[in-house]
Amino acid sequence: MNGLRAALATEWLKARRSRVPWLVLAGFSLVPLVCGLFMVILRDPEGARRLGLLGAKAQLAAGTADWPTMLSMLAQAVAVGGAILFAFLTSWVFGREFADRTLRGLLAGPTSRGAIVVAKAIVVGAWGLAITAWIVVLGFGVGLVVGLPGWSGALAAASVRDIVAAALLTIALQPVTGLLASVGRGYIAGLAWAVLAIAIAQVLAVLGLGAAFPWAVPGLIAGAAGPEAAVPLASVGLVLLTGAVGLVLAVAWWRRADHTG
């Protein structure tokens, strides 16, 4: 593909120098910190009430303050938080040329439009993987600081697998967000779809139909339907197919972007 290396270098430089990916990283870092706070509250609810961390009549039903609960909570929070924060990052990567009115200058260069779209998708994926790795490390660090019981190597390996799998599937769906941000010529359409998709995913998961909706699958992988619930391989394939179709459509749209304003 003509100019993919140049497009990658340009998109990576823009992302690295912008505050947006770092803000996404900072926002995502709250996930393990909040999970750790819940563990502290679960371990000593009376002490939490005295400190004002828990209302006098509030009751928590999240489980016990141990590693299985912490890692399960972290995995599900990554799945839901990733759907929003990765969509925010993707909408910015794909929509900034429209918001900043630099699209025509970008398309006037020698780099092919397909290379630009693929480069944007790769940059989103790279940032997503880096952020996920940081969240895993931070989550384990928080658990160690809190001093949670119930640690085992098998539990840690299984939890990392689920978190990474949920993140990868969420990242795989981002070309659809990029397509919507492109068609909407800005940030709003992609973000609006992310919020709507999460709402639909929650409803379908309750109805037992989540495996048929690509945006519900990462949550199921993370254990939203229970640790015993198996996710069909076909559902994973559906996520990958949806992402691939989104990427193809995004490339097709960008090839005529200069004709659509």
Q: Which of 96, 84, 132, 91 is nearest to 10 (CA)?
A: 96
Lowest mean pLDDT among 34-43, 139-148, 209-218: 34-43
Whether 256 and 184 have beta carbons less than 8 Å apart is answered as no
pLDDT at residue 58 above 50?
no
* DSSP label at residue 140: H
CB 130 within 8 A of CB 22: no
Q: What is the pLDDT of residues 226-259, one digit of tens each?
A: 666 678 999 999 999 999 999 999 999 998 876 5
Type of residue numbered 234: A
Cα separation, 64 vs 60, in Å, equals: 10
pLDDT band of residue 56 (cuts 50, 70, 90) is very low
**At residue 161, does pLDDT exceed 80?**
yes
| Average pLDDT estimate for 20-32 | 93
For residue 3, the 8-state DSSP code is T
Comparing 89 with 44, the larger pLDDT belongs to: 89
Indicate the number of domains in the chain: 1
pLDDT (mean) for 174-181: 96
Instruction: For residue 72, give the amino acid letter.
Output: S
Whether this prediction's pTM lies above 0.85 is answered by yes
Domain that holds residue 76: 4-259
pLDDT, one tens digit per residue, over 79-134 is 989 999 999 999 999 988 887 777 777 777 778 889 999 999 999 999 999 999 99
Lowest mean pLDDT among 15-24, 162-171, 227-236: 227-236
Alpha carbon distances (Å) from 217 to 14, 58, 71, 156: 31, 31, 18, 21
